[in-house]
A and B are shown apart, each in its own frame.
Chain A
Amino acid sequence: MTSGDNSGENDTEPTVYAIRLLRRAAADIDAARDYIFDVTGEAIARRWREGLYEALAKLTRFPQGYSVATEENARVNEVLASQGKPAVIIRQTVYRRPGSGRQGLTYKVFFVVKESDDSSGGGGGGDAPFVQVVHVRHAARDTFTNEDAASLAGDME
């Protein structure tokens, strides 16, 4: 699912990016899962998380095709520029459970595409290209409400 191979032996094959979750991003997922568990129970929390894994696994192919997180990207780079650090491109994908049309059930995954391990971006997997997941957050609202939980449970039935 998350092979770090560059598939360089065949130029016609698209590059397969490894997916790496930074410690804080993994903690984001754990916290979201725990919260959903608290309000909906184990089964739904697991299904939510498995769906998120599937969404993350899609980033192995053409991660550059995902949209730039315009506002966050601009803000992050303003700070990095002020610190004299190299720019990064923050991209995002949106994880919405199938059947849930409400924004309250939407999570954003922010990531950086690394074509190779470099000194400015922390570790990767040797020279293999990888996707560095930096943050996962519930979108559009500050908190996940009981109404969201009820809707999520309904979607998953």
Chain B
Amino acid sequence: MTLILNLPPEAEEQLKAAADAAGQDVNAYAVSVVLRGIQGDTQEAREATTAILAALEDAEAGDKGILLSDYVEQSRGRDRLRDAQDKRQQRRKAA
């Protein structure tokens, strides 16, 4: 379906600016705007947006994040610790 809209100049500028800000082609962005209008706000998208904005603010404030390889190593280290604790508990129970 092809939809032809006669937008007032001000709305056209706003649409172009918003598409540019979103890094999208104006047509693709217009489609997303129409879909959002039809489907309404989704709770999931709202929550995701809030979380993403909070993370970006953290980054702006200096959160450099953790390298995936470091994170993986840390989490596996916690697993090993838990395993060792579990084994100790099992030995105590058996004793």
Residues of chain A whose beta carbon lies under 8 Å from any beta carbon of chain B: 1-2, 4, 18-26, 28-30, 33, 42, 46, 49, 53, 56-57, 68-81, 87-90, 108, 110, 112, 120-125, 132-135, 137, 139-140, 142
Per a CB cutoff under 8 Å, which of A71, A137, A142 touches B32? A71
Minimum distance in angstroms from B70 CB to a CB of chain A: 8
- Known contacts: A71-B45, A77-B18. The answer to whether A123 contacts B59 by CB under 8 A is yes
Closest B-chain residue to A125, C-beta based?
Answer: B67
Minimum distance in angstroms from B9 CB to a CB of chain A: 19
B-chain residues with CB within 8 Å of residue A77 when the two chains form the complex: 18, 21-23
CA distance A62 to B35 in the complex (A): 28
Contact A1 B69 (CB under 8 A): yes
Closest B-chain residue to A25, C-beta based?
Answer: B55
Minimum distance in angstroms from A60 CB to a CB of chain B: 9
Interface of B is mostly: helix
Mark interface residues in B1-45 (1 if CB within 8 Å of A CB, else 0): 000000000000000011011111000110011001000001111
Closest B-chain residue to A86, C-beta based?
Answer: B21
CA distance A19 to B92 in the complex (A): 42
Contact B48 A137 (CB under 8 A): yes
Category for how many chain B residues contact A: 35 or more
Interchain residue pairs with CB less than 8 A apart (13): A2-B69, A21-B65, A21-B71, A46-B79, A53-B68, A56-B68, A57-B68, A72-B48, A81-B21, A88-B23, A121-B59, A122-B61, A134-B51
Residue among B18, B45, B65, B71 with the most chain A CB within 10 A?
B65
Residues of chain B whose beta carbon lies under 8 Å from any beta carbon of chain A: 17-18, 20-24, 28-29, 32-33, 36, 42-49, 51-56, 58-69, 71-72, 75, 79, 82
- Known contacts: A53-B72, A74-B22. The answer to whether A123 contacts B51 by CB under 8 A is no
CA distance A23 to B62 in the complex (A): 11
- Known contacts: A80-B21, A121-B59. The answer to whether A135 contacts B48 by CB under 8 A is yes
Contact B65 A122 (CB under 8 A): yes
